[in-house]
Amino acid sequence: MDILSWQLGLPATLLCLAFGYLLGSIPFGLILTRIAGLGDVRKIGSGNIGATNVLRTGNRKLAAATLLLDALKGTAAAAIASYWGAEAGIAAGFAAFLGHLFPVWLSFKGGKGVATYIGVLLGLAPIMMLAFAVIWLAVARITRYSSLSALVATAIIPVVLYATGSEKVALLFAAMTVISWIKHRANIQRLLSGTESRIGEKG
């Protein structure tokens, strides 16, 4: 099987990419914090729009809502586009992930993508989302590092997908993993220096 073959036509591919990107670029963290009267989430903590930074406002329910919505936009993009075929779902899912990381509305400064990564996984390979959760929880329980848990889970998922015969989806998540690791480079530096905050710690 040629894992690089791509049967979706160019117009359809561009349409799926545009749809996925626009859906993924909705900045739910910023929208929810402003509706709640908590100001601009980009002006606190890490400055990004993801659930982890929303949690720094002290509102756990808002952070949970951000996590859920950031995940579901990836799920929706992949699942809806998959109606026109697996390749359409892959294109839209990848674009949703990029949209979250680089939203045009916010000068291309978004989140780190873990929630949307999980959401795309749910849309394309639901069983693998459960595997991601198990890996994340296991690493988090042992190390109490949220960032390390995400890094390990995103590293393992593409390998498992490839080993189970989902080559094209594995390539998608391998690319998303590389990008996610780049977005986590500050966390990686702190992990290596021993200064990364553990789950439950204030930092």
Q: Tell me the per-residue pLDDT of 138-168, one tens digit each, with 9 for 90 and over.
A: 999 999 998 999 999 999 999 999 999 999 9
Q: What is the pLDDT of residue 4?
A: 46
Where does residue 45 rank: exposed (0-12), middle (13-18), buried (19+ CB within 10 A)?
Answer: middle
Q: What is the pLDDT of residue 3?
A: 47
Residue 156, amino acid: I
Asked whether 160 and 131 are in contact (CB, 8 A), the reply is: yes
Residue 4 in domain:
no
Which residues neighbour 131 within 8 Å (Cβ) at sequence distance 6 or greater?
Answer: 156, 157, 160
Residue 142 in domain:
yes
The number of domains in the chain is: 1
Q: Tell me the per-residue pLDDT of 114-146, one tens digit each, with 9 for 90 and over.
A: 999 999 999 999 999 999 999 999 999 999 998
Residue 127 in domain:
yes
* Three-class DSSP category at 80: helix
**Does the pLDDT value for residue 93 go beyond 60?**
yes
Tell me the C-alpha distance between 145 and 150, whole Å.
Answer: 9
Which residues neighbour 143 within 8 Å (Cβ) at sequence distance 6 or greater?
Answer: 149, 198
> Number of helices (H) and strands (E), helices first, in the chain?
10, 0
Tell me the C-alpha distance between 147 and 97, whole Å.
Answer: 18
Which domain covers residue 38, as residue numbers?
Answer: 10-193
Q: Tell me the per-residue pLDDT of 7-56, one tens digit each, with 9 for 90 and over.
A: 677 788 899 999 999 999 999 999 999 999 988 888 887 778 888 888 88
Residue 1 in domain:
no
Nearest partner of 74 among 34, 36, 110, judged by Cα = 110
Q: What is the pLDDT of residue 201?
A: 65
Residue 55 in domain:
yes
Q: Is 39 left (phi over 0), alpha (psi -120 to 50) or beta?
A: left
Residue 27 in domain:
yes
Biggest CA pair distance of the chain:
53
* Three-class DSSP category at 164: coil
Residue 177 in domain:
yes
Asked whether 23 and 76 are in contact (CB, 8 A), the reply is: yes
Residue 199 in domain:
no
Tokens of 92: 């839209």
Backbone angles phi and psi of 114, in degrees to 5: -65, -45
Tell me the C-alpha distance between 48 and 11, whole Å.
Answer: 33
Tell me the C-alpha distance between 181 and 81, whole Å.
Answer: 26
